[in-house]
């Protein structure tokens, strides 16, 4: 048997004592790390500027050619600034090949910001140095007029396309470059333009930074508003479902109570019933009582803290005339039209139909005061049809109408969906509002 022993060598700094770093040192290291990440890491990465998205009602009215120009408007503005810098560079030179070269050195960095923004900054520094050597313009140093406009444009575009921290680094690098160039080779020139460059670039970068902050804040607020609206919609839906469940409790409890009572009384209606039949009725009654108990427990879960049990039976379509009378007393002119042979419908259907009419008329009182309304009930073979329509408001309400966005429409749709029906709601051509509902009801033979 051979025994092998492996020995690991500790690194040189394993036993080096820990030296606490000062906050200033850590801040400096973080700053240098940010500088390396913003301006050195993948500086010439390909990041093309995408076309501008054209949306909204105004964008839909634009023709094809105008939409194209608007989508590429940012590229056109940048290219125009580059051409202006090129012409300015050529105008302040003696002309010829040297002037063309200086103009090209002013144009290329600006165009490069459209595809490689950070790389365009370094190219702008290099182009400025090359232009200073080639140009015959000696009135300013280190930026000639064309290079001045080109570098200022590059700083602005790169700041727009990157984060606000990058704008600060670019301004510091511009200051260091300008002062270094003046200190090294600015003695034989009439004047330096580093100070004007720093002032104008500071104003431009400050404006871009404020724009970044406002845009980020707007996006955050929009995201929060969207999330809040989504949560409000979900809460509204749950509240409406809870309300429907509480209302239907009385209906279901009534039917279950009838089942329990009939199951208990049935054996006494038959003389000498067989034991199997008595046992079956006892089982039915026990299950009905158990279902009632569980139903009350469920109701206790969905009941709100301020919920008060109703002291009257749930309303049906027979109570619709009383509802219309109350609405008329509130100032709404409403008519009722019934078509077909009126018949008794399942209690859940009548309760839902009553609540739908009640909510539709409440919306009319709230959003179209003084309008006339019409309630139509159609008894057909397959179910019940409802149509509640109102005209425009007699006077403009103080609060803005929220048709289709409140609890009422949500509650109506939940009731209709629960019964497997169909519903449409929307504004009419004359400025009113219409709610149309169909609640299916199974035929007596099918129900049996």
Reported as a single tens digit per residue, the pLDDT across 248-289 is 766 777 677 777 777 778 777 777 778 888 788 888 888 887
* 10: in domain: no
For the entire predicted model, the pTM comes to 0.58
56 and 102: one domain? yes
Q: Domain range holding 274?
A: 233-302
Please report, rounded to a whole number, the percentage of residues in the chain having pLDDT higher than 90: 33
Question: Domain for residue 335, yes or no?
Answer: yes
User: Which one of 279, 302, 325 terminates a domain?
Assistant: 302
296 and 361 fall within a common domain: no
Average pLDDT over residues 87-105: 86
pLDDT of residue 95: 66
- The chain-wide mean pLDDT, for the chain, equals 82
Q: Return d(Cα 193, Cα 186) in angstroms, integer.
A: 10
- 218 vs 230 pLDDT, higher one: 218
| Residue 137: predicted pLDDT | 74
Say yes or no: 72 and 154 in one domain: yes
Buried b / exposed e along 320-352 (16+ C-beta atoms within 10 A): beebbeebeeeebebeeeeeeeeeebbbbbbbb
Same domain membership, residue 325 and residue 294: no
Q: Are 388 and 360 in contact (CB under 8 A)?
A: yes
Coil/strand/helix, residue 430: coil
Average pLDDT in the 95-115 region? Answer: 91
Cα 207–Cα 212–Cα 213 angle in degrees, nearest 5: 100
- Tell me, yes or no, whether 178 and 37 share the same domain: yes
How many distinct structural domains can be found in the chain? 3
Which of 302, 327, 354 represents a domain boundary (last residue)?
A: 302
Count of Cβ atoms closer than 10 Å to residue 251 Cβ: 19
Query: 258 and 159 in one domain?
Result: no
The model's confidence at residue 1, banded by pLDDT at 50, 70 and 90, is very low
Residues whose CB falls within 8 Å of the CB of residue 228, separated by 6 or more in sequence, listed in order: none
Residues 176 and 273 in one domain: no
Phi-psi region of 55 (alpha: psi -120 to 50; beta: other; left: phi over 0): beta
Same domain for 238 and 332, yes or no, is: no
In this model, does residue 217 exceed pLDDT 80? Answer: yes
The values of phi and psi at residue 16, to 5°, are -75, 130
**pLDDT, average across residues 9-13:** 52
Q: Is residue 135 part of a domain?
A: yes
The answer to whether residues 374 and 421 belong to one domain is: yes
Report, as an integer, the average pLDDT of 424-437.
91
Q: Parallel, antiparallel, or unpaired: how do β-strands 383-390 and 372-380 relate?
A: antiparallel
- Percent of the chain scored above 70 by pLDDT? 82
**Separation CA 290–CA 214 (nearest Å):** 61
Is 308 part of a structural domain of the chain?
Answer: no
Asked whether the bond before 177 is cis by omega within 30 degrees of 0, the reply is no
Sign of CA dihedral 101, 107, 113, 115: negative
Q: Which has the minimum average pLDDT: 6-20, 127-141, 218-232, 374-388?
A: 6-20
- The helix (H) or strand (E) run that includes residue 335 is strand 333-339
Q: Tens digits of per-residue pLDDT, 147-185?
A: 999 999 999 999 999 988 899 999 999 999 999 988 887
Do residues 326 and 437 share a domain?
Answer: yes
Average pLDDT, integer, range 281-309: 70
Residue 55 domain-assigned (yes or no): yes
Quickly state the pLDDT bin for 2 (edges 50, 70, 90): very low
Q: How far apart are CA 45 and CA 93, in angstroms?
A: 33
Regarding whether 243 and 149 lie in a shared domain, the answer is no
What is the sign, positive or negative, of the torsion defined by CA atoms of 293, 297, 303, 305? positive
State which of 130, 161, 192 marks the end of a domain: 192
Residue 141 domain-assigned (yes or no)? yes
In a domain, 226, yes or no: no
Instruction: Please check whether residues 295 and 321 belong to one and the same domain.
Output: no
Asked whether residue 11 is domain-assigned, the answer is no
Least confident range from 195-209, 211-225, 397-411, 417-431: namely 397-411
């Amino acid at each position: 048997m051979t025994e092998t022993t492996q020995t690991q060598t500790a690194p040189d700094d394993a036993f080096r004592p820990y030296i606490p770093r000062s906050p200033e040192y850590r801040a400096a290291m973080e700053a240098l790390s940010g500088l390396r990440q913003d301006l050195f890491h993948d500086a010439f990465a390909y990041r093309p500027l995408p076309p501008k998205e054209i949306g909204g009602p105004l964008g839909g009215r634009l023709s094809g050619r105008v939409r194209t120009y608007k989508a590429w408007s940012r590229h056109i503005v940048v290219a125009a600034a580059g051409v202006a810098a090129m012409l300015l560079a050529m105008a302040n030179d003696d002309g010829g090949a040297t002037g063309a070269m200086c103009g090209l050195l002013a144009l290329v960095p600006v165009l490069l910001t459209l595809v490689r923004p950070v790389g365009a900054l370094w190219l702008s520094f290099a182009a400025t140095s090359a232009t200073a050597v080639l140009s015959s313009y000696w009135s300013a140093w280190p930026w000639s007029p064309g290079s001045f406009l080109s570098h200022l444009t590059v700083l602005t575009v790169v700041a727009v396309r990157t984060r606000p921290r990058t704008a600060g680094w670019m301004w510091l690098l511009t200051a260091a470059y300008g002062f270094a160039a003046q200190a090294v080779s600015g003695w034989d020139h009439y004047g330096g333009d580093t100070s004007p460059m720093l002032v104008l670039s500071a104003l431009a970068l400050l404006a871009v930074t404020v724009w970044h902050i406002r845009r980020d804040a707007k996006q955050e607020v929009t995201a929060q508003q969207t999330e809040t609206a989504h949560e409000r919609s979900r809460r509204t839906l749950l509240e409406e479902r809870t309300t429907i469940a509480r209302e239907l409790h009385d209906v279901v409890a009534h039917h279950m109570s009838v089942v329990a009572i009939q199951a208990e009384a049935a054996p006494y209606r038959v003389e000498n019933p067989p034991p199997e039949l008595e046992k079956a009725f006892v089982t039915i009654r026990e299950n009905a009582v158990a279902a009632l108990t569980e139903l009350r427990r469920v109701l206790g879960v969905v009941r709100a803290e301020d919920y008060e049990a109703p002291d009257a039976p749930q309303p049906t379509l027979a109570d619709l005339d009383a509802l219309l009378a109350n609405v008329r007393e509130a100032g709404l002119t409403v008519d009722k039209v019934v078509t077909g042979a009126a018949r008794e419908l399942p209690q859940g259907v009548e309760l839902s139909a009553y609540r739908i009419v009640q909510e539709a008329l409440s919306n009319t009182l709230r959003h179209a005061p003084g309008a006339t309304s019409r309630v139509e009930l159609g008894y057909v073979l397959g179910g019940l049809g409802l149509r509640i329509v109102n005209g425009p408001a007699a006077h403009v309400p103080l609060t803005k109408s929220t048709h289709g966005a409140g609890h009422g429409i949500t509650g109506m749709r939940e009731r209709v969906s629960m019964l497997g029906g169909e519903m449409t709601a929307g504004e009419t051509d004359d400025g009113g509002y219409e709610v149309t509902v169909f609640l299916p009801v199974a035929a007596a033979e099918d129900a049996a």
